[in-house]
Amino acid sequence: MAKIKIIIRKNSKLKNGNIPVAIRLSHLKLQATHITLSGLFVTNPKQWNGELQRFSSKKKSYKTLNKALNLIEDRANEILETLLSKNNFSYELFKKYYKNEHQVPNDVFVTIDSKIQTLLNEGRFGNAKVYLYCKTSLVRFTRGRNITFNDINYSFLKRLEEFYLSRGMGGNSISLMLRTLRSIVYEYYKTISAPKPTYFLDFKMQRLKTETRKRALTKDEIKKLIEYNPISYNERRSIDIFLFSFFCNGINVKDISTLTPANIVNGRLEYRRAKTKGLFSIKITEPMREILNRYEGNKYLFPIIKGNNFGLVQYDTFRNNLNRTLRRVAKKIDIDNSITIYAARSSFAQAARDEQIDIFTISSMLGHQSVETTKIYLNSLSNTTLDEAASNAFKGL
């Protein structure tokens, strides 16, 4: 792991005999490199506290100089953290960032395009779509005119909000767009080692969000789906994918699409979630096995991917077709016909809650990194649960 330390270089004295102060950068077994800090030096080693990595009280104006070193160290650590988080660290690149020789693109659309490409390379198509939605919305607002991060401020956000409210866009959609933009802006300012702007805090995006009812099927509706006799291969596959997601702890369709026979180990389905990289091991139950048996003999457990690549266009086309088919089937069997494949995940969470499974276990089963995320799924109980609770409350009266 790369480390930063501020030192004095006793063996590299300046021409006037002073000892320079420098940033010492080390990484794994590589030979350390140094960046000399201009104007910072000691005339003798006693003016330096090696343990604290700061000037000692024997150095004139040592308190002021140490404040400068604090700022230098903070900036160096921010640059280091940024490079490591992008798996893009090298001594040369660190020095370019530190000396401001590395120019970060200031164009908002270029930055969003780069983010989209990164997400696509990681197979995170859902996230890529969100950023594409943000860019498309911004392009429409600016009428195609390029914008820089310097153009974004509180006034820009207000005009953007008013523009889309006047065109009938809902608060949740505007909030999604602005939260995505905020993520891009914050990432940019982190990259250039600058403080986050405060205008998003002043804007208060939370006021735009309105609570939406979770689309979760009841157990009776799930049973109707299980008992339905499909009239086509497309219906059969769509229902199977929905039910497999439900029986498999709410696995999402992107992860389903890449499952192969190699993911089945000793009667368990083992896979790594594309979104969070979390590793899952789920026992294959009889309903899951029955579904999988219908698609044996293929490269993937489910016939979804065509060719070697599963790009954003193919992913979108497949999801749209899947959701249309699910809504058509739902209408036939008289269940919520606004369902999508995502409802399988919500339905699993609700079913687990109805069985009195504790929220920490549900959170782990869903692969959430925070119980707070799970609470969002479960922030409104199903009508069935509420009806049962009401009935129990009046028992014995």
Same domain, 363 and 227: yes
Same domain, 183 and 135: yes
pLDDT value for 257: 87
Task: Please write the tens of the pLDDT for every residue from 82-133.
Answer: 788 777 778 888 887 777 655 556 889 988 988 888 887 777 777 888 899 8
Same domain, 53 and 115: no
Provide the domain count of the chain: 3
From CA 331, how far away is CA 342, in angstroms rounded? 17
- The dihedral sign for the CA sequence 150, 155, 161, 162: negative
The residue type of 352 is A
pLDDT value for 289: 93
DSSP string, 11-32: TS--TTSPEEEEEEEEETTEEE
Residue 305's Cβ-count burial label (10 Å; 0-12, 13-18, 19+) is middle
> Is residue 214 a part of any domain in this protein?
no
pLDDT beneath 50, residues of the chain: 380-381, 383, 385-387, 389-397
Q: How far is CA 85 from the centre of its chain?
A: 14
Nearest to 348 by CA among 250, 211, 235, 232: 250
Last residue of a domain, one of 208, 236, 267: 208
Biggest CA-to-CA distance, the chain:
97
Last residue of a domain, one of 98, 122, 147: 98
Same domain, 367 and 285: yes
> Is residue 266 a part of any domain in this protein?
yes
Last residue of a domain, one of 179, 208, 237: 208
Same domain, 118 and 200: yes
The SS3 of residue 384 is helix
Same domain, 68 and 175: no
pLDDT value for 180: 93
pLDDT value for 118: 82
> Is residue 320 a part of any domain in this protein?
yes
pLDDT value for 370: 74
pLDDT value for 390: 41
- The dihedral sign for the CA sequence 144, 148, 149, 153: negative
What share of residues in the chain are helix, strand, coil (percent, to 5)? Answer: 55, 10, 35
> Is residue 20 a part of any domain in this protein?
yes
> Is residue 395 a part of any domain in this protein?
no
> Is residue 25 a part of any domain in this protein?
yes
Q: What is the DSSP letter of 131?
A: H
From CA 68, how far away is CA 178, in angstroms rounded? 36
> Is residue 396 a part of any domain in this protein?
no
pLDDT value for 105: 65
Same domain, 141 and 174: yes
Same domain, 237 and 365: yes
Nearest to 222 by CA among 193, 245, 191, 252: 245
Distances (CA, A) of 315 to 99, 321, 368: 43, 10, 23
Same domain, 234 and 303: yes
Same domain, 377 and 255: yes
The SS3 of residue 270 is strand
Q: For strand 279-283 and strand 268-272, is the pairing parallel, antiparallel, or unpaired?
A: antiparallel
224 close to 136: Cβ distance less than 8 angstroms: no
Domain containing 51: what range? 2-98
Same domain, 318 and 242: yes
Q: What is the CATH number of the domain that holds 244?
A: 1.10.443.10
From CA 270, how far away is CA 262, in angstroms rounded? 9
> Is residue 136 a part of any domain in this protein?
yes
Q: What is the DSSP letter of 261?
A: G
Same domain, 112 and 249: no
Residues listed for the chain: 397
